[in-house]
Amino acid sequence: MSSVKDNLRREALKRRAALTQAEQAQKNEIAVAHLLEMPVFQESTIIAVYLPLKNELSLNRLLTMAFDRPYRFVAPRTLPDAQMRFHEVRCDSILEQGFGHIEQPLETAPQVNLSDIDLFLVPLAACDLRGNRLGFGGGFYDRALVHQKAFKLGVGYSLQLVADVESEPHDVRLDGFISEDGIVYF
């Protein structure tokens, strides 16, 4: 991993960490409201969410909302071989800590094939206007998303949208980015 990526990640996470809890809560609500208006969200049946770590933009409200149509939410479960499987998650799901102390569904929760997922909501440290995503250095999402045709939507605060993210051949580009400022399509 390049020092350019390390520096960009460090700076982006530092800016994100500077948000107060009140600012985060307000921005989370606005971003989720934008997400609910997106046709790709409304037309999806199985939606991959992430369970937020520290000060990531939280999508947890989606799990507690009542919807007019049935949505199935799934969240990643990390495996020892640096792969991910996606398992059903609800607001009352029992969770456990996985790689990097990230909460994840239990192994016994119903598993969903990657190819059945309609929309991936992807956490990030930063992304640029070409859809290049800077993750956290493990490559978990790149491996999971590499052959997936579903819409890949980066999720974060507007301060995580940067001018340029150095990309490598194995990096999977996003189709869009959503924040409290709305949606950007790539």
CA separation for the pair 43, 163 (Å, rounded): 31
Is there a contact between 104 and 51 (Cβ–Cβ < 8 Å)? Answer: yes
Boundaries of every domain in the chain: 3-185
Q: What is the mean pLDDT of the chain?
A: 93
Q: Is the dihedral of CA 128, 131, 137, 141 positive or negative?
A: positive
Query: For the segment 31-80, what is each residue's pLDDT rounded down to a tens digit?
Result: 999 999 999 999 999 999 999 988 999 999 999 987 888 899 999 999 88
User: Would you tell me which CATH number, out of the four given (3.40.50.300, 3.30.450.20, 2.60.120.10, 3.40.50.10420), belongs to the domain 3-185?
Assistant: 3.40.50.10420
More confident residue, 34 or 3: 34
Nearest to 73 by CA among 110, 98, 101: 110
Q: Which two tokens stand for residue 165?
A: 């993210």
Burial class (CB in 10 A: 0-12, 13-18, 19+), 181: middle
